Structure 1
Amino acid sequence: MKPDTLNREERSYLASELRAYLDAELDVEIGNMDAEALIDMIGEKLGATYYNRGLKDAEALMSRKLDDISDELRTLEKDS
């Protein structure tokens, strides 16, 4: 499966945020190209973990909602 890619605006925003964080918190200054390379590396190393967590969270939410629907359907049953 091909990894999702960021559009130009997302990359620019994240690079700016990363540069600001590194400068403010670690007193490290990097350029845009370095920031974008770091974003790529972080995405490669951590992306799947966060993606899979999101899938598990979505699955849990859907399971709860299906349980709610099942409960609602049972209330509609008629005595036979």
Structure 2
Amino acid sequence: MKKIVLDKDKKKEMIESIKEYFSEERDEEIGDLAATLLLNFIIEELAGEFYNQGIEDAYRYMNDRVEDMLGLQK
């Protein structure tokens, strides 16, 4: 699978989101380094599963639409 690469602004946004989560949900303050390491772990170890699920969902959706089109034949 192709490596997931985020642009600089999107990655910064995600790091801030992780830091906010820890602050609001866990009442913990984490720094940029810890948030970056967590984001990198998620991308490297978990993101592939979400990507594969998205591909599978898109395939099912498109397959259903093709079946709908075939129903229009005369």
The two structures have a TM-score, normalised by structure 2, of 0.92
| Greater relative CO (CA pairs within 8 A, separation 6+) | 2
> What is the rounded CA distance, in whole Å, between the counterparts of 2:41 and 2:35 in structure 1?
10
* Matched residue, 1:66: 66
Post-superposition offset of 1:23: 0.9
> What is the rounded CA distance, in whole Å, between the counterparts of 1:2 and 1:64 in structure 2?
27
* Matched residue, 1:48: 48
Q: Which runs of 5+ in 1 are unaligned?
A: none
Pairs within 5 Å for 1:18-29: 18-29=18-29
SS in structure 2 opposite 1:28?
A: coil
Contact 2:15 2:32 in 1 (8 A): yes
Aligned residues: 74
Post-superposition offset of 1:2: 3.1
> What is the rounded CA distance, in whole Å, between the counterparts of 2:43 and 2:63 in structure 1?
29
Give the greater-gyration-radius structure (CA).
Answer: 1
Q: Which runs of 5+ in 2 are unaligned?
A: none
Q: Which runs of 4+ in 1 moved over 2 A?
A: none
Deviation per CA, 1:43-78, whole angstroms, max 9, x where unpaired?
112111100100110000011110011111x2xx3x
* Matched residue, 1:31: 31
> What is the rounded CA distance, in whole Å, between the counterparts of 1:11 and 1:37 in structure 2?
12
SS in structure 2 opposite 1:4?
A: coil
> What is the rounded CA distance, in whole Å, between the counterparts of 2:15 and 2:4 in structure 1?
17
